[in-house]
Amino acid sequence: MITNISDIKTHDELILENSTLCTQLESGNPFLPNQEFVLQHKANSISDSVHTCEIVSDRPSIDAIHKFFEESLELSISRSNRTPHNPALINEVGLDYLGVGEIDNAIEKFKEALSIDKGYFPAIANLAKCFTLKGDLDNAIGIYESVKKDMKEDIRFLTNIALLLFRKRDFDESLRYLEQAHKIDKNNHHILNNIGLVYLAKGDAGSAISSIRKASQKGNKDHSVFNNLGVCYIAINNKKKALHYFKIAHSLNSSARSVLVNLSNAYQSINEHELVVNLLDDYIRTHPEDTELNNILAWSYFQMGLYRKCLKRQWTPLIGQPEHRVKL
């Protein structure tokens, strides 16, 4: 849930080793990019990142999305041509270029917007996003560093650069920026949650719990905060408390996919397979191509001796309990 420059919802993933209860760590922020880590529970170490993405079943087809952005691009170019010195309109053209995958053209448009107003934050953030998509984190961070003097008290700046530093695995520097943001807005539960996530990545589950608990007090309707608390308790192998917080998260948002995965895995860890079936049945009916949750459901059917139902739901070979992922 670290504030990100992206306006496309994706997930960062952590993979817990098989000896721990596998969970998804959700940030609660719709702007988080992809980044995968491997957490080794005993050593508290993190592997090199591997980029992945999640398929959401109810999205329209890729062709329909592309056509939408092409039409939107034509309209935004037309509006920008009518008002050629408006940074907001130029920024919209850049976003539509991103929508059709033309990153270099998007970069030129965001730079054009900044040539008119060097402090226009949407263009700053989107320009950094472009370099992030190209895999150039140093250049993305440099975009923010170039405006640091003028924006050092801006929470958007502080949280966005913290995210990029997090992705570079510079956790200490990421934490420093988040703590600056917290000093500016002590009641912002998203920042407290972010701080907790960085502590968790550093292997300090105790500090992570402390920070995310504070976040839960200020954002007590945010399911993702309670989901993250559950993940923290997984890190210290307290499955009872983890289950407690996953249940709270589910009560706040019963359709959140990451919570469904976490709660299902928690039930499986205590052999409550009927609860897994009850939990996932409706979701799988409307999301039949969700491979991960089909495999979770198949495992519970297998454990219940319902082998035909297991084969119906199984999307990949079940060799031991299926691997699950933790998503930040």
Report pLDDT digits (tens) over 190-241.
999 999 999 999 999 999 999 999 999 998 999 999 999 999 999 999 999 9
Nearest of 51, 44, 53 to residue 20 by alpha carbon: 44
Phi, psi of 202 (to 5 degrees): -80, -10
pLDDT in tens, 254-274: 999 999 999 999 999 999 999
The per-residue pLDDT for 316 is 52
pLDDT in tens, 13-57: 333 333 333 344 443 333 333 333 333 333 333 333 322 222 223
pLDDT in tens, 135-158: 999 999 999 999 988 888 899 899
All domains of the chain in start order, with CATH:
12-49+135-327 (1.25.40.10)
Q: 70 versus 277: which is more confidently predicted?
A: 277
Nearest of 13, 33, 41 to residue 325 by alpha carbon: 13
Residue 320's pLDDT band, with cuts at 50, 70 and 90, is low
pLDDT (average), residues 100-109: 92
- What is the full DSSP assignment across 51-66? ------TTSPPHHHHH
Give the separation between CA 175 and CA 171, rounded to whole angstroms: 6
The per-residue pLDDT for 67 is 67
**Radius of gyration for the chain, computed over Cα atoms and rounded to the nearest angstrom:** 21
* Neighbour-count burial for 245-257, b at 16+ CB within 10 Å, e otherwise: bbbbbbebbeebb
C-beta neighbour count of 180 within 10 angstroms: 17
Nearest of 149, 207, 159, 198 to residue 182 by alpha carbon: 159
Torsional sign, CA 217, 220, 224, 227: positive
The per-residue pLDDT for 145 is 92
Provide the whole-model pTM.
0.73
The per-residue pLDDT for 312 is 80
